[in-house]
């Protein structure tokens, strides 16, 4: 920048524009992704609200813009690699970096009640792993060069307490009787990605953590869930906003560490 000989006010403007942090949230047209987009934008972050369905994504963006929030739409089906280049180009062109990535898009192919392990189909496993495990890894890899351009990159993997092997194996744990192999294994695998990437990046400015939002009232969580959206959004948002002293490679719910 120094070599460009810019007028000083323009230089300051460009520095400020770059200083504003940018977050990308996948699957953000509804549910927890939408809630976290709202909360992050309310805390002064520019939010790229990614969704696979442009109509749903645009309408979510319009709602947040109507509240005066700085939110932009990006079409991104996390299982469609053809969308990745567009995401990289969009971020590159508009911001030249990415400060926060929340891998939020997720599915539960067998629903909340699940299917017995002995009856779980290969198709259920494949579909669930494609969205909940393979996609976050591939997308993170594609966006890592932009995250490395941030002064403090943050990656949040939206996991679940149902991904905890320790709690699933413990007859006294609250989730002992809530077993759905495809979903649970996909989140355990996602946690493994968190641990491995955090280790790889431990000497960089990037932090990688897994979040359990709580059992939250969304289409996935159903009306039976005890937690409302504003509370459910807090864990992922807090991990996206971690300062330099924050943890790396952990699994959290509302500030508490969860066992792997
Ligand atoms: N709710 C809970 O109690 C709870 C608990 C623990 C963890 N979680 C995790 O939190 C995350 C969000 O869950 P939620 O409760 O908000 O679920 P949700 O209401 O069902 O929303 C899921 C979001 O993911 C999107 N999505 C699914 N597949 C996608 C794809 N291939 N590409 C892009 N977007 C895709 C959906 O888009 P469409 O609208 O187009 O389908 C939707 O926006 C998930 O990872 C979930 O596993 C939720």
Distance CA 143, CA 24 (A): 10
Question: What are the tokens at 22?
Answer: 């940018």
For atom 32 of ligand 1, the residue with the nearest CA is: 77
pLDDT exceeds cutoff 60 at 226: yes
Is residue 26 within 6 Å of ligand 1 at its C-beta? Answer: yes
Alpha helices in the chain (DSSP H): 8-19, 31-42, 54-66, 82-94, 122-129, 135-147, 165-168, 181-200, 229-232, 234-240
Give distance in angstroms: CA of 220 to centre of ligand 1.
Answer: 7
Q: What is the band of 1 on the pLDDT scale with cuts at 50, 70, 90?
A: very low
pLDDT exceeds cutoff 50 at 4: no
For atom 47 of ligand 1, the residue with the nearest CA is: 106
In the residue annotation, 183 being an active-site residue is answered as yes
**Of all atoms in ligand 1, which is nearest to the CA of residue 35?**
16
Distances (CA, A) of 151 to 99, 107, 139, 200: 8, 32, 20, 17
Q: What is the pLDDT of residue 7?
A: 55
Q: What is the pLDDT of residue 128?
A: 97
Cβ pair 60, 136 in contact under 8 A: no
Give distance in angstroms: CA of 33 to centre of ligand 1.
Answer: 7
pTM for the model stands at 0.94
Q: What is the pLDDT of residue 2?
A: 41
Distances (CA, A) of 105 to 18, 49, 51, 168, 252: 27, 11, 9, 23, 18
pLDDT exceeds cutoff 80 at 151: yes
Cβ burial of 122 (10 Å; 0-12, 13-18, 19+) is exposed
Q: Catalogue all structural domains in the chain, each as residue range(s) with its CATH number.
A: 20-257 (3.40.50.720)
Is residue 233 within 6 Å of ligand 1 at its C-beta? Answer: no
Residue with tokens 């897994």: 210
**Of all atoms in ligand 1, which is nearest to the CA of residue 32?**
16
Cβ burial of 197 (10 Å; 0-12, 13-18, 19+) is buried
pLDDT exceeds cutoff 80 at 6: no
**Of all atoms in ligand 1, which is nearest to the CA of residue 187?**
47
CA atoms lying within 13 Å on the CB side of residue 142: 24
pLDDT exceeds cutoff 90 at 222: yes
3-state DSSP assignment of residue 253:
strand
**Which residues fall within 8 angstroms of residue 204, CB to CB, at 6 or more apart?**
148, 153
For residue range 87-116, list pLDDT tens digits in order.
999 999 999 999 999 999 999 988 877 889
Give distance in angstroms: CA of 9 to centre of ligand 1.
Answer: 43
Is residue 215 within 6 Å of ligand 1 at its C-beta? Answer: yes
Residue with tokens 């509804």: 30
User: If you average pLDDT over every residue of the chain, what do you get?
Assistant: 94
């Amino acid at each position: 920048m120094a070599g460009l000989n810019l007028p000083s006010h323009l230089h300051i403007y460009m520095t400020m524009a770059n200083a504003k942090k940018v977050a990308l949230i996948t699957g953000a047209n509804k549910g927890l992704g939408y809630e976290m987009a709202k909360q992050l934008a309310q805390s002064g972050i520019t939010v790229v609200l990614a969704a696979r369905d442009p109509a749903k994504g645009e309408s979510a963006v319009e709602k947040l813009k109507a509240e005066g929030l700085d939110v932009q739409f990006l079409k991104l089906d996390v299982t469609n690699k053809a969308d990745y280049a567009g995401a990289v180009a969009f971020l590159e062109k508009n911001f030249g970096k990415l400060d926060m990535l929340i891998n939020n898009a997720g599915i539960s192919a067998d629903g909340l009640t699940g299917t017995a392990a002995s009856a779980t189909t290969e198709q259920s496993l494949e579909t669930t792993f494609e969205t909940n495990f393979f996609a976050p890894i591939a997308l993170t890899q594609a966006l890592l060069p932009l995250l490395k351009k941030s002064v403090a990159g943050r990656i949040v993997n939206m996991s679940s307490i149902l991904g905890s092997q320790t709690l699933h194996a413990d007859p006294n744990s609250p989730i002992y009787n809530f077993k759905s192999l495809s979903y649970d294994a996909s989140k355990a695998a996602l946690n493994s990605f968190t641990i491995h990437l955090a280790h790889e990046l431990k000497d960089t400015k990037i932090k990688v953590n897994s979040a359990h939002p709580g059992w939250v009232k969304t289409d996935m969580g159903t009306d039976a869930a005890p937690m409302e959206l504003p509370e459910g959004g807090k864990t992922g948002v807090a991990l996206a906003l971690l300062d330099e002293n924050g943890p790396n490679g952990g699994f959290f719910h509302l500030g508490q560490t969860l066992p792997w």
